[in-house]
Structure 1
Amino acid sequence: MDSLSSILSPTTVTFRFPKLTLMANSATGVSSFSFAFTIYGGERRTATTKRSAKPSKTLSPKEPSTPIPSSLTTFADSNTSLPPKKVLVPIGFGTEEMEAVIMVDVLRRAGADVTVASVEQQLEVEAAGGTKLVADTYISACSDQIFDLVALPGGMPGSARLRDCELLQKITSNQAEEKRLYGAICAAPAVTLLPWGLHRKKRITCHPAFMDKLPTFWAVKSNIQVSGGLITSRGPGTTFEFSLCLVEQLFGESVAREVGELLFLCGADDESRKQEFNKVEWSVDHNPHVLLPIANGSEEIEVVTIADILRRAKVNVVVASVEKSVKILASRGTKIIADKLIRDAAESIYDIIILPGGNAGVEKLSKSRILKKLLKEQELAGRIYGALCSSPEILHRQGLLKDKKATAHPSILSTLTNEVVNGARVVIDGKLITSRGLATVTDFALAIVSKLFGHARARSVAEGIVYEYPRS
């Protein structure tokens, strides 16, 4: 049995990926980002194959033009004979959608073969915030498979649904016994892993609301905690960090760094959270109604995060498909079921229309005559509209960015408007709001909450998801 001193002896590891601090490498002249976290009770897991400092495939900042199935890797190893890293992400009724979707998206970007498995008797699962997700398979189909990582999203009652699944308990317990990686976030470390006994002799963290359930001696109030083969994190607002930590454990720090750069998890010291021009009030005399149109190829992180955060602020969000079906295959293979078809959603008036990115999705959205009509009416009526990532291109085509300050994904920024704003995650000009997308979507959604309800409401929502947000 390990001695107590050996269990608690810390090993500090520099986990490199774009975070908050920009540092220049004097030897190479290349900027990098890093932060340190502490590993207890074991050494960091590294990739089993050698990887060069630069992945075998050069990454373009431009998004793929077609939806990517889970089997297609972005950071494939140069030795194609090696099998991809296999990851299991189980979901159930009440799973936290931001956590599940961000994990799946980020891990697939890194090249992992991710299986989303339902612990329910159906593949369609309604998540904690009301988003409907469709799993790839049932958990029963995963019982005889070996995974490099099992990653549990949180949410309530989702974490309890995972806990009560005997098959998932067996899979995860075998994962721990055979010293393969397993992780959990939000409520799952306390509600799921604790009853299974998979927390023993591990430093562990979770959502602040569940910290009192953890053994006091082993509980750590940190965003990310790595302890042997167990990785834990705090909530929806720390899921990008958590996901990149999982990538680092599976593939190494160079892959994690490059994925982080594509996600815009890089904030220079002089970058502002938001910039606002031509300031006007966004107040409405009723519960705000928001339309979020989506299509095959829409960026799932943006769709799910916007819907989740706005619903936490008590905004009525309608996710509407511009396809012939409400079932959508998003850009990284996540399956989402919209609330309505666009033709049915168009019967209502919306205080805000928000366009998500994803190149293939943007092309589909731009061809929707109903959506074009809704956007034109939105402008003429003086109501609010917004876009992020590559979707500001839709507004540009309709002349809705004329004389407006805006930002967007770097790949299209120069083609939009002469009023481009650099150095801000979110740009507001009157009743237009834009953002670069992906990891900036949280600030985008919180900026909308702040404009509608005030800073205090936005900060309250941010605290609930464990996301750093300014006090004033």
Structure 2
Amino acid sequence: MPGSARLRDCEVLQKITTKQAEDKRLFGAICAAPAVTLLPWGLLRKKQMTCHPAFMDKLPTFWAVTSNVQVSGEVTTSQGPGTSFEFAVCLVEQLFGEYVARELGELLLMRSTDDTHRKEEFNTVEWSVDHKPHVLVPVANGSEEIEIVTIVDVLRRAKVDVEVASVEKSMQILASQGTKIVADKLLSDAAKSIYDLIILPGGTGGAERLQKSRVLKKLLQEQNIAGRIYGAVCSSPAVLHRQGLLKDKHATGHPSVLSKLTNGVVNGAKVVIDGKLITSKGLATVTDFTLAIVSKLFGHARARSVAEGLVFEYPRNVR
């Protein structure tokens, strides 16, 4: 909401977007922004629109719809973080066509899966801790920005203490798609602390950089020896494998690395938990992955509450 309000108050942005609308070129908004930003600018007149459920009452009733994504002429609106993949792919389809959008959806691992295949768990143990969980997310040049941001965002919404630490010489990294991300600290400084959970984001180049970090290798080995939780998504389960941390464990990862993992590869699930190890395929499965962590740490009630705020469908068949 504060971000959407600041966008609304930016006169330069208003002029750019208004000109875009006048020229019948594409524009869009997601979450609170359709109601808080575009509507006051007068850019949603006679347009069907959607937004985050918390702001639906601000939209004109006749034109408001509850779909995840709504296209009305040149404007596309969407409900929230949990619908952002659909929103982005919808924009790609309008720009480049259905074939490109379908290909992108496959690359992002957006194929639909039954709720029963969202998660598989083996050797179940309790993850709950008697303090605010402390989580480390190491990042590197080439790490996947979708995964970094999703993991950090969802965990912080769940009131987890998350530190993002760069394995590079600088706190700023250049992520896999060219996004600049500034970490909280360098990994060498982060290594002075103990973490309840260490999560490796993916990205082929980033995983290779994480693999080369001696500091991270030591942290992961200590995490395993101490019986604390660790995990990885996308390409990074291969990092755990090379360090012997998937031995006798069930795991999954991005399709491109599955052949490099252990004999315990689980193909049909988005998220696999084995004791205090958690892995996921990556990209579009990372919200499921992070909500599974929230559920293990705090229970389904908090995970479901976070999912509702994201406008992300939480499995209905869990208690």
Fold shared, TM-score > 0.5 on shorter chain = yes
Q: Does 1:446 align with 2:294?
A: no
Deviations 1:68-106 (A, max 9, x none): xxxxxxxxxxxxxxxxxxxxxxxxxxxxxxxxxxxxxxx
In the other structure, the counterpart of 1:429 is 274
Q: Does 1:273 align with 2:105?
A: no
Q: Distance in 1 between matches of 2:16 and 2:73?
A: 18
Deviations 1:264-320 (A, max 9, x none): 100245860000000000010000000000000000000000000000000000000
Deviations 1:413-444 (A, max 9, x none): 01110011111000000000000000000000
Q: Does 1:360 align with 2:231?
A: no
Say whether the 8 Å CA contact 1:224–1:231 is kept in structure 2: yes
Q: Distance in 2 between matches of 1:259 and 1:351?
A: 35
1:312 aligns with one of 142, 157, 170: 157
2:137 aligns with one of 289, 292, 307: 292
Deviations 1:333-382 (A, max 9, x none): 11100000001111110000000001111111111111011000000000
Deviations 1:311-333 (A, max 9, x none): 00000000000000001100001
In the other structure, the counterpart of 1:165 is 10
Q: Distance in 2 between matches of 1:268 and 1:363?
A: 29
Q: Distance in 2 between matches of 1:254 and 1:268?
A: 21
Q: Distance in 1 between matches of 2:59 and 2:261?
A: 50
Q: Does 1:325 align with 2:170?
A: yes
- Size of the alignment, in residue pairs? 317
Q: Does 1:234 align with 2:79?
A: yes
2:143 is paired with a residue of what secondary structure?
coil
Query: Which structure 1 residue ranges, 4+ long, deviate > 4 Å from structure 2?
Result: 268-271
Q: Distance in 1 between matches of 2:224 and 2:126?
A: 16
Q: Distance in 2 between matches of 1:269 and 1:312?
A: 26
Q: Distance in 2 between matches of 1:427 and 1:248?
A: 32
In the other structure, the counterpart of 2:107 is 262
Q: Larger Rg: 1 or 2?
A: 1
1:196 is paired with a residue of what secondary structure?
coil
TM-score normalised by the chain length of structure 2: 0.98
1:395 aligns with one of 230, 236, 240: 240
In the other structure, the counterpart of 1:416 is 261
1:424 is paired with a residue of what secondary structure?
coil
Once the two structures are aligned, what percentage of the paired residues are identical?
A: 79
Q: Distance in 2 between matches of 1:319 and 1:345?
A: 9
In the other structure, the counterpart of 1:335 is 180
Residue 189 of structure 1 deviates from its aligned partner by 0.2
2:39 is paired with a residue of what secondary structure?
helix
Q: Distance in 2 between matches of 1:271 and 1:331?
A: 31
2:60 is paired with a residue of what secondary structure?
coil
In the other structure, the counterpart of 2:192 is 347
Say whether the 8 Å CA contact 1:271–1:425 is kept in structure 2: no
Q: Does 1:464 align with 2:313?
A: no
In the other structure, the counterpart of 2:220 is 375
Residue 161 of structure 1 deviates from its aligned partner by 1.0
User: Which residue type is aligned with residue 5 of structure 2?
Assistant: A
In the other structure, the counterpart of 1:176 is 21
Say whether the 8 Å CA contact 2:115–2:315 is kept in structure 1: no
Q: Distance in 2 between matches of 1:221 and 1:257?
A: 23
Spell out the pairing of 1:180-195 with structure 2 (5 A cutoff).
180-195=25-40
Spell out the pairing of 1:142-153 with structure 2 (5 A cutoff).
none
Q: Distance in 1 between matches of 2:9 and 2:226?
A: 51
Q: Distance in 1 between matches of 2:234 and 2:228?
A: 21
User: Which residue type is aligned with residue 202 of structure 1?
Assistant: K
1:203 is paired with a residue of what secondary structure?
coil
Q: Distance in 1 between matches of 2:199 and 2:309?
A: 23
Give the structure with the larger strand fraction: 1
Spell out the pairing of 1:86-105 with structure 2 (5 A cutoff).
none
Say whether the 8 Å CA contact 1:271–1:423 is kept in structure 2: no
TM-score normalised by the chain length of structure 1: 0.66
In the other structure, the counterpart of 1:82 is none
Q: Distance in 1 between matches of 2:205 and 2:110?
A: 23
Deviations 1:204-252 (A, max 9, x none): 1000111111111111111111111110000000000000000011000
